[in-house]
Amino acid sequence: MKQQINLYVELLQPKRDPLPLARALHWCVAALLLLALAVGVCQWLVARSQQQLLAVQQQQQALQVELASLTAELQARRPPPALEQRIAQLGRDILGRQQLLSALSQSEPLRQAPFLPLLDALSRHANGQLWLQQIALGQGQLLLAGQALTEQAVPAWLGQLSADPALAQFKIDSLKVDATADGRFSFSVEGQP
C-alpha cells in the first residue's frame, strides 16, 4: 500500500507579495510625474491669466487717462456761464417776438392799417449791411433808426427805398450817421411819409 504524504503545507508554500516594491515605486514615480505635469500646467495658466490681467489693467488706465483728457477738453469748450445766460435770454426774447408776430398777423384790424404798406416795403429792402431798431410813425412824421456795418450802407439803402413805389412819396428831412464804439454806425432818418 502506498501512502502519499503532502510535505507542502500551505504554510510552507512560498507566498507571493501582492504589491512588490518595484511596482510600488513605478506607481509612485508615475503619480509624481502626473502631479508635476498638473502643477506645471496650472502655473502656465496662472501666468497667462496674469499677463491678460496686466494687459487689461493697462488698457483700463489708458482709457481713464483719455477720459480725463476728454472731460478737461469738454470743460474747456463749454461757454462761460454769462454767455449761456445771454443765449437763453435771447432765445426767450426771440420766442416772445415770434408769439407777438403770430398774434399780430392774425389781427384783422392790423391787416388793414395804413402803415402796413410802409412796413411791407421796408421788409422787401432788408439786407445784411444794416438793421432797423426803431420805426416810429405818427403825426405826419416817420422815424427810422438802426445800425449799419458801414457808413455807405445807409445812403445805398435809402436809394433802394426811394425806388420802391410804396415809399416814393417819402421825403427825408434829416439823416444822422454816427460811429459807435464797436466799429458800427448808428443812424436815424426822419421824414414825412
Comparing C-alpha atoms, which of 123, 180, 184, 133 is closest to residue 157?
123
- Is 147 among the domain residues? yes
Place of cell 392790423: 110
- Is 184 among the domain residues? yes
CA dist., res. 115 & res. 128, Å (int): 24
- Is 159 among the domain residues? yes
CATH of the domain at 167: 3.30.1360.100
- Is 41 among the domain residues? no
- Judged by average pLDDT, the poorest of 2-6, 93-97, 140-144, 149-153 is 2-6
CA dist., res. 152 & res. 148, Å (int): 9
Per-residue pLDDT of 77-128, as tens digits, reads 877 888 889 999 999 999 988 888 887 777 666 555 666 777 777 777 778 8
- Is 75 among the domain residues? no
State residue 110's pLDDT score. 59
- Is 26 among the domain residues? no
- Does position 169 have pLDDT exceeding 90, yes or no? no
CA dist., res. 193 & res. 189, Å (int): 12
Mean residue pLDDT across the chain = 83
| Average pLDDT rounded to a whole number, residues 43-59 | 94
Residue range of the domain that includes 150: 113-192
- Is 18 among the domain residues? no
User: What band does 50 get if pLDDT is binned at 50, 70 and 90?
Assistant: very high
State residue 7's pLDDT score. 67
- Is 150 among the domain residues? yes
State residue 131's pLDDT score. 85
Report residue 62 as a C-alpha cell: 489708458
Q: Is the Cα torsion angle 80, 86, 89, 91 positive or negative in sign?
A: negative
Q: How many domains does the chain have?
A: 1
State residue 63's pLDDT score. 94
State residue 115's pLDDT score. 67
Angle at 95 between CA 135 and CA 188, to 5 degrees: 15
